[in-house]
Amino acid sequence: MLKFRQLPGSYAIVRLDPDSPVPDWATKAAFTSITRTADELSIVCPAENVTKEIPEAPRWICLKLEGPFPFSQTGVLLSFIQPLSSSGIPIFATSTYDTDYVLILHQDSDRAIDLLCQAGHELLEG
């Protein structure tokens, strides 16, 4: 099974208009994900970084799967989120070249981590 760790702090997921510039506050963290499409600019960053002009959004925890995972390895993310999906816990997933990150709403975090550990995944400290 997979090893994962919880990144410190709370995270926010923000949606801006597709032609919005990337705000400075979005780029000041050890983990930030910025994705632009024709429909939106999506930002994941520490909640404390989000400017007060943005309506307050739900708070999330961020779980980092311990990669790297080769592109040829299939089912990595599926095996991690399956126990959550089966229990009705919503997630927001994002990936980098080397690994996957799964965000879970704060109110579901304890239950989600318990489910992941029961499924055989290992929570690493620190």
- CATH number of the domain where residue 88 is located: 3.30.2130.10
Q: What is the mean pLDDT of the chain?
A: 94
* pLDDT-based confidence at residue 73 (cuts at 50, 70, 90): confident
The number of domains in the chain is 1
Is there a contact between 80 and 1 (Cβ–Cβ < 8 Å)? Answer: no
Backbone angles phi, psi at 96, to 5 degrees: -115, -175
Do residues 43 and 91 make contact, with C-beta atoms less than 8 angstroms apart?
no
Say if residue 111's pLDDT is above 80: yes
Element (H, E) at 76: helix 76-86
Looking at the chain, how many residues does it have? 126
Calpha distance 50→25 (Å, rounded): 6
Q: Are 36 and 61 in contact (CB under 8 A)?
A: no
Domain residues for 45?
3-124
Does residue 9 register a pLDDT over 80? yes
**Of residues 120 and 72, which shows the higher confidence score?**
120
Model confidence, pTM = 0.92
**pLDDT of 16-62, one tens digit each?**
999 999 999 999 998 999 999 999 999 999 999 999 889 888 999 99
Nearest to 32 by CA among 13, 51, 5, 58: 13
The mean pLDDT of 79-104, rounded to a whole number, is 95
